[in-house]
Amino acid sequence: MMQPNQRGGQRVQQQQASNPLAIKTKKNQLDKNAYAKLALLQVWKKEWWRALIPLVVLSLPVVFDFSWWWIAGAVVVTILYALVRSAQVMGVTQMEQSSVLFERVMFEIDQRQILMKRNDREGMALQWDMIERVTQSKDSYFFYLKGPSADQLPTGFKGWLAKTFNVPIFLQLPFRIFNSPNDIKLMESLLRRKNFIAA
């Protein structure tokens, strides 16, 4: 005979049963070094011109009074800026809040959400409105998460710094973790319906 709490446990398990229409992947773990390289590449592709600002500004006195000290100072400050910005990007891999990005998880993706599952009982759900954009390389999808909204940022100069020097946070889903080419087609179709990739 089944105890009442056993019946209740079965009901909970039935309610938590996987969505049969979901795209399920194999387990995957994003390497911290690979993540850091990709994030650095994206940041410097977009922000390379910012490193030129201290170089140009600190070199301006050379026009009026040439000195190697001005040039050396400009180069040193530019290198320091590049190092600090790169360290900020790489620091994401060391933060406790971002550790979930580097765990070994499988994905369950459907119309409602993206589930990152450690196992059948533990995981984290991402709603589609938390995704800012999706890009596709020759062997992966990249899901970029939205940054904090304006009301979540501090006010004044700190808020401006946080907004200007943000770090891209993304999930990488390599094609090899999908169970079949059909799952990749379903994924592509879902991303089109969500307007993340062009129809």
Mean pLDDT value of segment 84-108:
88
Question: Does the pLDDT value for residue 29 go beyond 60?
Answer: yes
CA atoms of 98 and 81, how far apart (whole Å):
24
Q: Which of 55-64, 112-121, 139-148, 150-159 has the lowest mean pLDDT?
A: 150-159
Mean pLDDT (the chain, rounded): 84
**In terms of C-beta distances under 8 Å and separation of at least 24 residues, what long-range contacts does 17-20 make, across chains too?**
18/108, 19/108, 19/110
Whether 74 and 60 have beta carbons less than 8 Å apart is answered as no
In this predicted structure, what is the pLDDT of residue 18?
A: 55
Question: Does the pLDDT value for residue 2 go beyond 50?
Answer: no
Question: Does the pLDDT value for residue 197 go beyond 90?
Answer: no
Of the options 3.30.70.1150, 2.30.29.30, 3.40.50.300, 1.20.1050.140, the CATH number for the domain spanning 21-29+96-193: 2.30.29.30
Which H helix or E strand runs over 29?
none
Question: Does the pLDDT value for residue 15 go beyond 50?
Answer: no
Q: Which of 34-43, 69-78, 116-125, 181-190 has the lowest mean pLDDT?
A: 116-125
| Sequence ranges of the domains in the chain | 21-29+96-193, 34-94
Dihedral, CA of residue 117, residue 118, residue 119 and residue 122, to nearest 10: -80
